[in-house]
């Protein structure tokens, strides 16, 4: 197969590209990425010279470019991750989110449709897999702030911290109720993807995943931002009371789910992906502080004084919790890591890769691209 992975230089995309390039030497993997502030080719240093890998710097909104690339590369599959992904940025600049997440997705859909429908085999053996988020479902109520025993268990979440903070979970049949400009734009793109199936028969799959954590995440997101701030003893800005709940999944487990669903998922289906692993922000922050302190040889908990409560995020969703039992039941997927193990691995990676972090926080990686692509 020849597969375009969009957004492959970003956080989740780089793990998906790495997995596919290493696992399927017989495939050609084309990483299509605009290299916005969130795209970083240093995330893929270990595979950039592999013969089955190719990087193309391109904007998904460039319809002509995308259409030509699909023809030139005889593309059979698309795994679409490219997006503006940070909620706080979407609150400040909603236009960019609508442009990339909605118009960019539409450009990818239309190019795939036009290219594939003119082939002799048409849509046979083709796949357009759209990666979406649990935020499209809106926010769940926190009916049990003290935590209750959840009805589900998985390998990753069976530890002692595994509590649910309400009886309800996001299931695939829930109505979309996005609140932030980011999730509204993702919801809109999901609707376009399904419309292309219902109208033209495009072979699509959509998945909605919970919060990912792990190596190579841009340090504007909670976990890498806080790890870096703790290391440098800078304040940790906790929004509101720190009581909001997120459901965390190790990024490599998301990449494994994407691999499984791309190959075995049913066309036109939606699958929710998550590890039944709910945490209040403040609890996860305490785990991160203790882990960083321990790994740096500081007295555990010393850096709790960095916690600084700040003004809440506008429209801050209270609770996300994914019910991924359909994926577990139908395709046999399970997360591989206990959360404590995943967090330890993640903190260790950021502390061991300070050069990567410094490069990103100083903005040096962007200057490198400006030079690399100067005059093009």
Q: Which one of ligand NAD, ligand DAU, none is in contact with 81 (Cβ closer than 5 to 8 A by kind)?
A: ligand NAD
Is 134 a residue that touches ligand DAU (CB under 6 A)? yes
Q: Using the rule CB under 6 A, which residue among 193, 222, 258, 347 binds ligand DAU?
A: 222
CB of 290 to ligand NAD, least distance (A): 23
Strands 278-280 and 245-250: antiparallel
Q: Are 217 and 251 in contact (CB under 8 A)?
A: yes
Q: Using the rule CB under 6 A, which residue among 238, 251, 257, 343 binds ligand DAU?
A: 238
Q: Which one of ligand DAU, ligand NAD, none is in contact with 78 (Cβ closer than 5 to 8 A by kind)?
A: none
| Active-site residue, 135 included | yes
Across 78-95, b (16+ Cβ under 10 Å) vs e yields bbbbbbbbbbebbeeebe
Q: Enumerate residues 262-321 that contact ligand DAU by CB under 6 A.
A: 281, 313, 320
Q: What's the rounded Cα separation, in Å, for the pair 171 and 178?
A: 15
Q: Are 243 and 147 in contact (CB under 8 A)?
A: no
Match 């400009």 to its residue by tokens.
181
For the CA atoms of the chain, what is the radius of gyration?
20
Which strands, in side-by-side order, build the sheet including 245-250?
Answer: 211-213, 245-250, 278-280
Is 211 a residue that touches ligand NAD (CB under 6 A)? yes
Catalytic residue, chosen from 33, 84, 134, 303, is 134
Q: Using the rule CB under 6 A, which residue among 3, 7, 190, 247 binds ligand NAD?
A: 7
Stretch of 1-9, 18-26, 114-122, 166-174 lying at the interface with ligand NAD (CB under 6 A): 1-9
Catalytic residue, chosen from 84, 135, 172, 278, is 135
Q: Enumerate residues 73-102 that contact ligand DAU by CB under 6 A.
A: 85-87
Closer by beta carbon to ligand NAD, 59 or else 253: 59
Is 218 a residue that touches ligand NAD (CB under 6 A)? yes
CB of 262 to ligand NAD, least distance (A): 14
Closer by beta carbon to ligand DAU, 126 or else 208: 208
Q: Which one of ligand NAD, ligand DAU, none is in contact with 281 (Cβ closer than 5 to 8 A by kind)?
A: ligand DAU
Is 37 a residue that touches ligand DAU (CB under 6 A)? no
**Cα 356 to chain centroid, rounded:** 19
CB of 63 to ligand NAD, least distance (A): 12
Q: Are 131 and 81 in contact (CB under 8 A)?
A: yes
Tokens for 323, please give them.
């019910």
Is 135 a residue that touches ligand DAU (CB under 6 A)? yes
* Helix 11-23, helix 251-264: angle, nearest 10: 60
Tokens for 293, please give them.
């302190």
DSSP 180: S
Q: Using the rule CB under 6 A, which residue among 246, 256, 280, 319 binds ligand DAU?
A: 246
| Active-site residue, 134 included | yes
Q: How many residues bind ligand NAD (CB under 6 A)?
A: 30
Q: Using the rule CB under 6 A, which residue among 55, 176, 192, 239 binds ligand DAU?
A: 239
CB of 123 to ligand DAU, least distance (A): 28
Burial of 332 (C-beta count, 10 Å sphere; 0-12/13-18/19+):
exposed
CB of 17 to ligand NAD, least distance (A): 10
Match 């990676």 to its residue by tokens.
349
Stretch of 19-27, 128-136, 288-296, 298-306 lying at the interface with ligand DAU (CB under 6 A): 128-136
Alpha helix (H) residue ranges in the chain:
11-23, 63-73, 87-92, 94-97, 105-117, 181-200, 222-231, 251-264, 281-295, 325-331, 339-352, 354-362, 364-372
Closer by beta carbon to ligand NAD, 18 or else 306: 18
Across 307-326, b (16+ Cβ under 10 Å) vs e yields beeeeeeeeebebbbbbbbb
Q: Using the rule CB under 6 A, which residue among 34, 127, 256, 280 binds ligand NAD?
A: 34
Q: What's the rounded Cα separation, in Å, for the pair 5 and 58?
A: 12
Site of interaction with ligand DAU (CB under 6 A): 85-87, 133-135, 210-211, 221-222, 225, 237-239, 244, 246, 281, 313, 320
């Amino acid at each position: 197969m020849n597969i375009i992975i969009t957004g492959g230089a970003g956080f989740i995309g780089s793990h998906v590209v790495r997995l596919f390039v290493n696992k399927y030497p017989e495939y050609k993997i084309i990483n299509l990425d605009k290299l916005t502030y969130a795209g970083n080719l240093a995330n893929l240093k270990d595979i950039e010279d592999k013969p089955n890998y190719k990087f193309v710097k391109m904007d998904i909104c460039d319809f002509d470019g995308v259409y030509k690339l699909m023809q030139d590369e005889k593309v059979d599959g698309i795994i679409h991750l490219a997006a503006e992904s940070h909620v706080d940025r979407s609150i400040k600049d909603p236009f960019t989110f609508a442009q990339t997440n909605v118009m960019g997705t539409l450009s990818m859909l239309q190019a795939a449709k036009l290219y594939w429908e003119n082939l002799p085999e048409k849509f046979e053996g083709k796949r357009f897999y759209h990666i979406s988020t649990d935020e499209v479902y809106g926010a769940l109520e926190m009916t049990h702030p003290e935590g209750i025993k959840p009805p589900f268990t998985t390998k990753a979440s069976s530890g002692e911290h595994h509590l649910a903070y309400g009886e309800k979970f996001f299931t695939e049949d829930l109505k979309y109720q996005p609140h932030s400009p980011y999730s509204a734009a993702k919801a809109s793109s999901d609707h376009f993807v399904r419309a292309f199936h219902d109208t033209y028969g495009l072979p699509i799959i959509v998945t909605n995943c919970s919060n990912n954590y792990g190596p190579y995440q841009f340090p504007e997101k909670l976990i890498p931002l806080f790890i870096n701030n703790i290391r440098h003893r800078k304040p940790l800005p906790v929004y509101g009371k720190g009581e909001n709940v997120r459901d965390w999944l190790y990024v490599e487990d998301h990449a494994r789910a994407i691999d499984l669903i791309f190959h075995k998922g049913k066309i036109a289906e939606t699958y929710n992906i998550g590890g039944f692993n709910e945490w209040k922000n403040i609890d996860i922050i305490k785990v991160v502080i203790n882990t960083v302190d321990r790994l740096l040889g500081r007295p555990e908990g010393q850096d709790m004084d960095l916690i600084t409560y700040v003004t809440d995020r506008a429209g801050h969703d209270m609770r996300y919790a994914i019910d991924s039992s359909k994926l577990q039941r139908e395709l046999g997927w399970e997360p591989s890591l206990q959360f404590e193990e995943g967090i330890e691995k993640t903190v260790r990676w950021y502390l061991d890769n300070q050069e990567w972090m410094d490069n990103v926080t100083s903005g040096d990686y962007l200057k490198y691209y400006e030079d690399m692509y100067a005059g093009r």
